[in-house]
Structure 1
Amino acid sequence: MRIGLLGTGPWAADTHGPGLAEHPGVRLAGVWGRRAEAAAALAHTLGTRPYATPDALFADCDAVAFALPPDVQAPLAVRAAEAGCHLLLEKPIATTVDGARAIADAVAAHRRASVVFCTLRFAPETAAWVEAQCGTDNWLTGSAEWFSPVFAGSESPYQHSTWRRERGALWDIGPHALSVLLPPLGDVADLDAIRAVRGPGDTVHAVLRHASGASSTLTVSMSMPAQAAGVSAELRGAAGVSNLPERGDGGPVRPFRRAVDALVEAADGGRPHPCDVRFGLRVTEILAAVEAALDA
């Protein structure tokens, strides 16, 4: 499968690029970025070629991987699907419901495969935990917490990310938290019933009720001091208590390669991955409802 890369920032350079260039089952066809000089530099590093326009890249690819801000990604993803490309999308797929639905509609209309790269859903340890919990009945409550120091004086390359500064932890980290809560607890039953409050910095607390009858809490922040950072998730019910295991070593490249594998399998007529564009659309709908609850 020939896969093109859209994006030239730290996530593209450190995760998507190496993950595609070193993957034995695909060929990195080329790179496009909003800054031509950055695309040329990254393409040289990865041993491929830069493209002047995204449409030229789409024409030479079977699939494309996005490492772009969500609302830059959304219209380009529609064009890519219309051009016949399968989609490896970043989370969130868009920060508006209309934008997310446009991608889902284009994927369905053109019968393309899609995968949304939520890191926890593709890290082997945490993916196995999510799958195991989906086979357990009678969960009553759940919680997911993700505390990051990105905006608290860390050396993170994402601390100056414009879209993250504008949209905050809810949109950057919220998809990760939902990716581990929704599969075992079920869809959110009533978006209008969501309750949410703001905490310090960009911290958000939300309470959800699921179609299974279970309830859950979601807490995300990119304003935590490094000494208070951490990721956790917990389920409680008739089976007892189950806690999300820690991700293994190796960083995000290994999970990204597994996301590539999932896209290749789905594009080859295999079973669509649960974390596809339809899931991405639902995540956007839920996060938009949380944001509405905050505004209210």
Structure 2
Amino acid sequence: MRIGLLGTGPWAQRVHAPALAAHPEAEFAGVWGRRPEAAEELAAGYGVPAFADVERLLAEVDAVSIALPPAVQAEYAVRAAEAGKHLLLDKPVALTVDQARGVAAAAERAKVASVVFFTLRFGADQAAWLAEQAARGGWFTARAEWFGSVFAPDSASPYADSPWRREKGALWDVGPHALSMLLPVLGDATEVTAVAGPLDTVHLVLRHVGGASSTLTLSLTTPVAAAVDGVVVELRGEAGRLVMPDRNESPQAAYARAVSALLASAADGTAHPCDAAFGLRVVELLAEAERSLR
């Protein structure tokens, strides 16, 4: 499968491009970016063409890997799907329900495969643990925490200059990761309540279809010293108390599995659990949480 990369920012440079270039079953077919000079520089590093026009890139590929801000991603995902290209998307798929619904509808109309990259869902140990707990059942409640320090005063994060992250905060940046782990185990959420904490920190309480409940604490402004071991998913139920394995690999390794998942979905026509429709549901819950905050 020939895959073109849309986007040239830090996430594209650090994760998308190296994973695409190294994948044994995909061909990294080129780069397009909103800044042509950035696309040329990134493409040159991998010996692939840079495209000044996105339509020309779409004419040369079978799929797109999108590393653009969510609102921009939604627009280009629809254009790619309408051109018959499979979609490897980042979370959140959009910043409004209407945008996310448009992406899911375009993918369905065009009958293209879609996969949304939730980092934890494609971690080797985390994915295996999640599948085991979803099959086990009998869960009473769950807790998910993501304490990040992207915007802490002493942070050196390369993502601190991201305008959409600064505007939308932890709820929209790391909230999708937490939801992607809880929903497959506890079922869809029927109620969402949100309370604001310090700075961009937010606390969510969810009621799930089977009667279980869950809590989420999300932050990108945690002091660096307090963000150590900041990602936790804990389940309590008939099997006792179980905690998700710690992350122990690079995001590139997880992204390579997302590429493989897209290849498999495109080959057999089976929708992936993390497809654009699931991405839409995550956006709906984030929007509901945002309404609760207001």
Give the TM interval when normalised to the shorter protein.
Answer: over 0.9
2:280 maps to: 281
3-state SS of the aligned residue for 1:248?
A: coil
Task: Report % sequence identity.
Answer: 58
Q: Whole-Å Cα distance in 1 between the matches of residues 290 and 38 of structure 2?
A: 34
Deviations 1:127-159 (A, max 9, x none): 111111101122010110000010002111001
Deviations 1:62-83 (A, max 9, x none): 0000000000000110000000
Is structure 2 residue 179 aligned with structure 1 residue 181?
A: no
Q: Whole-Å Cα distance in 2 between the matches of residues 2 and 133 of structure 1?
A: 35
2:209 maps to: 211
1:234 maps to: 234
Q: Whole-Å Cα distance in 1 between the matches of residues 73 and 176 of structure 2?
A: 16
Please report how far the alpha carbon of residue 271 of structure 1 lies from its aligned counterpart in structure 2 after TM superposition: 3.2
1:163 maps to: 164
1:71 alignment partner AA: A
1:112 maps to: 112
Please report how far the alpha carbon of residue 160 of structure 1 lies from its aligned counterpart in structure 2 after TM superposition: 1.0
3-state SS of the aligned residue for 2:103?
A: helix
1:39 maps to: 39
Q: TM-score when scaled to structure 1?
A: 0.97
Please report how far the alpha carbon of residue 201 of structure 1 lies from its aligned counterpart in structure 2 after TM superposition: 1.1
**Where does the alignment leave 5 or more consecutive residues of structure 2 unmatched?**
none
2:264 maps to: 265
Please report how far the alpha carbon of residue 270 of structure 1 lies from its aligned counterpart in structure 2 after TM superposition: 5.0
Contact kept, 8 Å, 2:113 with 2:269, in 1: the verdict is: no
| Number of corresponding residues | 291
Please report how far the alpha carbon of residue 272 of structure 1 lies from its aligned counterpart in structure 2 after TM superposition: 2.3
Q: Whole-Å Cα distance in 1 between the matches of residues 65 and 263 of structure 2?
A: 12
The CA RMSD measured in Å over matched residues stands at 0.8
1:221 maps to: 219
Is structure 2 residue 126 aligned with structure 1 residue 126?
A: yes
2:271 alignment partner AA: P
3-state SS of the aligned residue for 2:136?
A: coil
Is structure 2 residue 27 aligned with structure 1 residue 27?
A: yes
Q: Whole-Å Cα distance in 2 between the matches of residues 91 and 173 of structure 1?
A: 9
3-state SS of the aligned residue for 1:120?
A: helix
Of 267-276 and 158-167, the range deviating more from structure 2: 267-276
Q: Whole-Å Cα distance in 2 between the matches of residues 21 and 148 of structure 1?
A: 29
Q: Whole-Å Cα distance in 2 between the matches of residues 96 and 116 of structure 1?
A: 16
Q: Whole-Å Cα distance in 2 between the matches of residues 218 and 46 of structure 1?
A: 39
